Amino acid sequence: MEIDEVERHHGYPTPVPRNRTARTAVLGVSVRRPADGKPSSRTSAALRRRLVVGSLVLCSLVLVTLSFRDTEDGPVASAQESVAAVLSPFQVAADRVAEPFRDAYAWSSSLLDARSEAERLERENETLRQLVAQGELARRENAGLRELLQFRDGPRFPEGYTGLATRILSRPAGAFSQMIVVAAGRNDGVEVDDPVVTQDGLVGTVSRVGSRTAQVRVLTDDQSAASASIPATGAYGVVRAGRSPRSPLRLDRVPKEALVRVGDTVVTAGSRSQRLLALYPRGILIGRVTSVGQSDTDNYTQVQVTPFAELGSLEAVLVLLPQDRGER
């Protein structure tokens, strides 16, 4: 049914031309249609539009191809560099103009992030502090072990022994305990009474052995004793723990007639007979004589000795293992 027939049937007025179609009824306007078979202006506009876009995309693809195929000093690259050089002042100017704004933005964002940044840095600082402490410990330990190795391979190292370098696991817990624990035990060949030294001098003897650890009785312990001599004068005695903190060791049992001077070096006496073996090999440095005194009532000279080894701050020690242990 035609639209105007519908309108006439319902009695509606007919304000639009009678030759309109359903499309014109919807739009409410009459669309001019080309009389001949040529494409409409809309179609040609769409065609032109697509042609322009296609040409531009094609141009871009050609440029991409040329750019890819061109060498670094080729014509395209040279032209590009020349134009870029011309444009660079504008870029520099824009950069300079934008710099304060960029700085302001960076400053404001840094303010916003300051709290979380401070917390992060604090955590990082804590971690770094721990690492530094660990590194310092490792460095000291490394230096100590290196010195021990030099001592072991040097001429002062006692003959007939091998040195087992080991770390200190625990130090004396208090003034009444002069025991340290080292990280070597039965599995490493350590036995009770093995001498323990550093590159500086005598430390003590092994008093107890576990499978992987060993307890060492330091020279400053009341139960320690080491036969010692003063090579410069030939005096002999027994080194024991001192009676005051200022004199950690004393050289006991030195006859009054023996010559002992302040500054003399005290070393281990070692064995003087094959039947009675000493705990310590001969010639290990013990300490230096700091005072010599005699009284009429004493039978022996009172000799105070300061140990060469830093017994209070040991990092690593050498446990001396007799080479003939397997034969015994």
Partner 1 sequence: MSLALRIAPLVFVAAVVQVATISGARLLGAEPDVLLVTVVVIALLAGSVVGAATGFAAGLLVDVMTLGTLGQTSIVLILAGYWAGRYGETTGRGRRYAVPLAAFAISLLATVGAVALHVLLGEPVSARTALVSLLPSAIVAALLALPAHRLVRFVLSDSAPLVRPRTIEIA
Q: How far is the CB of 14 from partner 1 (least distance, A)?
A: 13
State the nearest-atom distance from the C-beta of 118 to partner 1, in Å.
Answer: 21
Identity at 325, one-letter amino acid code = R
Tokens encoding 238: 């027994």
Find the radius of gyration of the CA atoms of the chain.
49
Q: Residue 220 in contact with residue 178, Cβ under 8 Å? A: yes
CB closer to partner 1, 60 vs 294: 60
Nearer to partner 1, 72 or 296 (CB): 72
Q: Which is nearer to partner 1, 46 or 131 (CB)?
A: 46
Per CB under 8 A, contacts with partner 1 among 18-77 are 27, 29-32, 41-42, 48-49, 52-53, 56-57, 59-64, 66-68, 76
- The answer to whether 148 and 317 have CB atoms below 8 angstroms apart is yes
Q: What distance in Å separates the CA atoms of residue 197 and residue 195, rounded to the nearest whole number?
A: 7
Which stretch, 1-9, 90-98, 128-136, 247-255, contacts partner 1 (CB under 8 A)?
Answer: 90-98
Is-contact 255 300, C-beta < 8 A? yes
Instruction: Write down the least CB distance from residue 81 to partner 1, Å.
Output: 7
CB nearer partner 1, residue 76 or residue 321: 76
**What is the smallest separation between the CB atom of 91 and partner 1, expressed in angstroms?**
4
Give the span between the Cα atoms of 197 and 314, in whole angstroms.
10
- Residue from 12, 21, 44, 87 in contact with partner 1 (CB under 8 A): 87
User: Toward partner 1, which CB reaches closer, 93 or 138?
Assistant: 93
Encoded amino acid at 185, one letter: G
Proportion of the chain in helix, strand, coil states, percent, rounded to 5: 40, 25, 35
Position among 3, 16, 169, 278 found at the interface with partner 1 (CB under 8 A): 16
Please work out the total of residues on this chain that contact partner 1, with binding judged by CB under 8 A.
Answer: 40
Here the tokens at position 201 are: 């001098």
Contacting partner 1 (CB under 8 A), which of 2, 95, 119, 222?
Answer: 95
Which residues lie closer than 8 Å to 251 by C-beta, 6 or more apart? 228, 230, 237, 238, 239, 260, 266, 289, 303, 304, 305
Amino acid letter, residue 305: V
Cα 55 to Cα 303: distance, rounded to the nearest angstrom: 108
| Nearest distance from C-beta of residue 110 to partner 1, angstroms | 14
Return residues touching partner 1 (CB under 8 A): 16-17, 27, 29-32, 41-42, 48-49, 52-53, 56-57, 59-64, 66-68, 76, 80-81, 83-84, 87-88, 90-92, 94-95, 97-98, 102, 105
